[in-house]
Structures are given as structure tokens and as C-alpha cells.
Structure 1
Amino acid sequence: MKASHNNIVVGALLMVSLVLVYEAEVCLGVTCDPLELSPCLSAIVNGSPPSKQCCTKLKQQVPCLCQYIKDPNFSKYVTNPNAKKVASACGVTIPTC
């Protein structure tokens, strides 16, 4: 009985470890670089529909949006009404930070 209990505990710890490693890889895989959003610039500035490349880049940069919102140099590009339209068209929710 004790060996079975130990196996369950070891299995649970292994699962938690795998989840943490996976999450770390996901977080580390994104480079927060506002220039990655340059394909969206014309859509944000002009209010035109976003390109497929814009939507792809925007989805990749979602983990970075709060960082951009908090930066006065980039905040206006992420929080303006056209940016919200672009995000909505791409199926991205701009976070509340």
C-alpha cells in the first residue's frame, strides 16, 4: 500500500513538473519587441483592416501587451480605439493591466 501511495505522489509531482516546464517554454518563446507589431501600424494609424501578418504577430505578442501598455512610448499604440478594433478583428483581447 505504501509503495502505491509513493507512486501516486511521484506521478503527481512529475505531472506538475512537466506542466511547469511547458509553461516556462511558452513564456520564454516570446520576445517582447514592439517592432514585431510593425505589420499592424498602418491598420492602427489609418483604421484599415489588419493583415493576416498583423494578426499573427499580434497573437504572438499578447503576453507582452501589458508591458507595452505600461510604457508611455507605446501605450498610445496599444490602447487607442483603432488598436482595439485591430485586436478585435484579429480575435485578441487587449488585457486590463
Structure 2
Amino acid sequence: MRKEVLLAAMMLALVVAAPGGARAACVVGQLTVCMPAITTGAKPSGACCANLRAQQACFCQYAKDPSLGAYIRSPHARETLVTCGLAVPHS
């Protein structure tokens, strides 16, 4: 639980600090619904998959962020993408 709270706080800080254009398209806070899948390997919910699809263009940006990269590149994140039918980005 502590990890999820920390990640949610980092996501909120990233969204607030993002420039106007990035804030409109890349809202990392929308991925909080995916935290159980990304951190524990639980099956992603429909809402998680929908939000991943909506944020797919932002994955590389998130992976380059020092506070988010480890989550985005984690094995469970890859499993979540595959389960949702999304391609795993290669950077």
C-alpha cells in the first residue's frame, strides 16, 4: 500500500508540473487504476486497459522519467500490456 501512495503522489506531481500540451495528452494519474496489476501482477481491470490504450503514446515519456521508469519497465507492467492486448514499447 505504501508503494501505491508514493507512486500516486509522484504521478500527481508530474501532472501538475507538466507543460500545458503534455498535461492534455499525457496524464500519468490515469494509470493509478493499473497499480495492482503493475506492482503485483494481478489481472488488469477493463478500466486499466482502457486507460493504458489512451496513454499508450506517452509510455516512452513515462519510461524516461526517473520517478516512473522502474514501474513502466517492470516485468508486471509488460505482462499488463500484453494482457490488455497492447504492444510492449521498445526504447
- The answer to whether TM tops 0.5 is yes
2:73 corresponds to which residue? 79
Q: 2:46 matched to which residue of 1?
A: 52
Q: Aligned match of 1:41 in 35, 47, 51?
A: 35
How far off its partner does 1:34 sit? Answer: 1.1
After TM superposition, which residue ranges in structure 1, 4 or more long, deviate above 6 angstroms?
none
Q: Choose 1 or 2 for highest CA Rg.
A: 1
- Taking only aligned residues, the RMSD between alpha carbons, in angstroms, comes to 1.4
> Which residue does the alignment assign to 2:60?
66
Q: Aligned to 2:49, what secondary structure does the other structure show? A: helix
Cα deviation, 1:31-50, whole Å, max 9, x if unaligned, reads: 20111111100111111000
Matched, 1:32 2:31: no
TM-score of the two chains, using structure 1 as the length reference: 0.67
Structure 1, unaligned stretches of length 5 or more? 1-27
Tell me the amino acid that sits aligned with residue 49 of structure 1: K
State the match for 2:5 in structure 1: none
Cα distance in structure 2, aligned partners of 1:93 and 1:73: 22
Q: What is the aligned-residue identity percentage?
A: 36
State the secondary structure of the residue aligned to 1:73: coil
How many residue pairs were aligned?
69
Q: 2: distance between equivalents of 1:94 and 1:65?
A: 9
Task: Read off the aligned partner of 2:83 and give its amino acid letter.
Answer: A
